[in-house]
Structure 1
Amino acid sequence: MAKYMLIMRGTEETTAAMMATPFDEMMAKMGRVNEEMIRAGVLLTGEGLDDPGQGVVVDLSNETPVVTDGPYGETKELFGGFWMLDVASKDEAVEWAKRLPRMPGAKCEIRRVPTIDEFPQDNEWVVKERAFRERTGQL
């Protein structure tokens, strides 16, 4: 099994379509998919994200970090939420993504989450990270 993150991306068109959908209907659509993932035993966690206008961006490209209010300048697509799945393969993650509710302009990016075991185990920071995860119940 491997962890994959399904990242919902959308445009202004996507946001407008979501806002035009009655709340109960949107929750039912998302709830059905979440329920399927739970029944299949693949859902580890999932969350929707707040309006990008409520967020901030910390630009780390200079000596002194610069904080600006969202939304993010030239970005045409924004993350709207995510699911973390534990599935057998990328193909299985893709199949789950195909079940997500359709919205104009919506896309789902799928990224594998490497395990700590994939990093050099003699690195002092990997050793510290493993100890942290054990203390917090993540291993």
Structure 2
Amino acid sequence: MRFMMIMLPAGYASAPAGKRPELKAIEKMMDYNMSLQQAGVLLAMDGLHPASTGARVTTVNGKVKVTDGPFAEAKEAIGGYWVLDVGSRAEAIAWASRCPLEPGDTIEVRQVFEMTDFSPDVQKAVADMHSNCA
């Protein structure tokens, strides 16, 4: 089962563009990331620049609207993510619990959809679309 762990660092929604983690925090996170890799559960991971450097693309009345960060209404911002391949939700939560969080940080754990999560008719339709693209 694949799970995404989403890091929501405290205060990151309003962090300036030049905000970077301190060396000590990076070292702790590198150790944690290495433990995920050594356990064979890590599929992907990355840290993200602050929301102040991002953009949101939405549609309003059928027209594309681009809003540059920071986003005034945002209370939380994603600071990074991991994708794990583990045996259960409980195992994903156990890994998230080991992460070296700073005070106020949060990790959200979400299961990734697999094709087997969908009904047979949806699986067939997707398979048919893929075979038509080949």
Do they superpose with TM above 0.5?
Answer: yes
Gaps of 5+ in 1: none
Gaps of 5+ in 2: none
Q: Does 1:127 align with 2:127?
A: yes
Q: 1:13 to 1:82 in 2, by over 3 A?
A: closer
Query: Is 1:8–1:81's contact at 8 Å kept on the other side of the alignment?
Result: yes
| Superposition map of 1:1-139 within 5 A | 2-12=1-11, 22-23=22-23, 25-123=24-122, 126-127=126-127, 130=130
Letter in 2 for 1:95: A
Higher mean alpha-carbon deviation, 104-113 vs 53-62, is at 53-62
Q: 1:72 to 1:129 in 2, by over 3 A?
A: farther
Higher mean alpha-carbon deviation, 70-79 vs 114-123, is at 114-123
- After superposition, the C-alpha distances for 1:19-73 in whole angstroms (9 at most, x for unaligned) are 58632x2221111111111111100010000121110011234310210101222
Cα distance in 2 between the residues matched to 1:83 and 1:27: 15
Cα drift, residue 119 of structure 1: 2.4
Higher mean alpha-carbon deviation, 119-128 vs 47-56, is at 119-128
Query: Is 1:7–1:82's contact at 8 Å kept on the other side of the alignment?
Result: yes
Query: Is 2:7–2:78's contact at 8 Å kept on the other side of the alignment?
Result: yes
Percent identity for Structure 1 against Structure 2: 35
Cα distance in 2 between the residues matched to 1:129 and 1:31: 40
Letter in 1 for 2:35: E
Q: 1:107 to 1:130 in 2, by over 3 A?
A: farther
Cα drift, residue 75 of structure 1: 0.9
Aligned-residue CA RMSD (Å): 2.6
Letter in 2 for 1:100: C
Letter in 2 for 1:115: E
Number of residue pairs matched by the alignment: 129
Cα distance in 1 between the residues matched to 2:55 and 2:111: 26
Letter in 2 for 1:60: T
